Amino acid sequence: MNDVWACVPVKEFAGAKQRLSALLSPRQREILAETMLEDVLTALAGATSLAGIMVNTVDPRAAALAERHGARVVTEGARDGHTGAVNGMARVLAAEGKAALLTVPGDIPRLTAWEIDTVVSSHLGPPSFTIVPAHDELGSNAVLCAPPFSVPLRFGDDSYFPHLMAARRQNIEPVIVRLPGIGMDIDHPVDLLAFLRAMPRMPTRTLHLLEEFGL
């Protein structure tokens, strides 16, 4: 399959990552969200298996960052939460006849191009569904749908098992891939501390930033 589009929903940076407020100031959280997105876009741009990258956002800084990494910026459903933004990108891709949507969040800074290529290479022919769970097997940190609406998507803190059931209701047996970089999202203080301790250490922009913050 050579028509897989990576799709990243991005909320406005102002007010981002409020669950990290015990460790970081509002300005630090804003910078962190932008820096994590840049790490994710760098990994996506390095993948060899993608037809393109799409970012759904109304934040001008996020849009500029996306364009610098060769991504296409859309705003369809951008203010309708994570699920609404992903479904907005699915509508765009479906209308254009694209084969598949691979959605990842903007807060998995240990993501690598190799992991993206691994997800795509694990995918079966349409209709099909591939998923990478978060490290706690609660969240859905990467989802590949072929075609883009093969399985109804609904993201949240506990979406992994509901997504498996949603795929099976469509008579699609999900392909499950576990990858450490994709699995490590940063939402809570415990996630941030786990990221700082993760081995092997990766010279990401996010790690450098958090060290500058004194964490």
Scanning the chain, the segments in alpha helix (DSSP H) are 26-46, 60-68, 81-95, 113-122, 160-169, 180-183, 189-197, 205-212
pTM for this entry: 0.96
Indicate the average pLDDT of the chain: 96
| Backbone Cα Rg of the chain | 16
CA 26 → CA 23, 59, 136, 174, 180, distances in Å?
10, 16, 26, 39, 28
Axis crossing angle, helix 189-197 with helix 205-212, rounded to the nearest 10 = 110
Predicted local distance difference test score (pLDDT) of residue 2:
72
Predicted local distance difference test score (pLDDT) of residue 215:
87
Predicted local distance difference test score (pLDDT) of residue 1:
54
pLDDT tens digits in sequence order for the chain, 215 residues long: 579 999 999 999 999 999 999 999 999 999 999 999 999 999 999 999 999 999 999 999 999 999 999 999 999 999 999 999 999 999 999 999 999 999 999 999 999 999 999 999 999 999 999 999 999 999 999 999 999 999 999 998 899 999 999 999 999 999 999 999 999 999 999 999 999 999 999 999 999 999 999 98
Predicted local distance difference test score (pLDDT) of residue 100:
97
Q: Pick the closest to residue 149 from 132, 133, 124, 166 (CA basis).
A: 166
Predicted local distance difference test score (pLDDT) of residue 117:
98
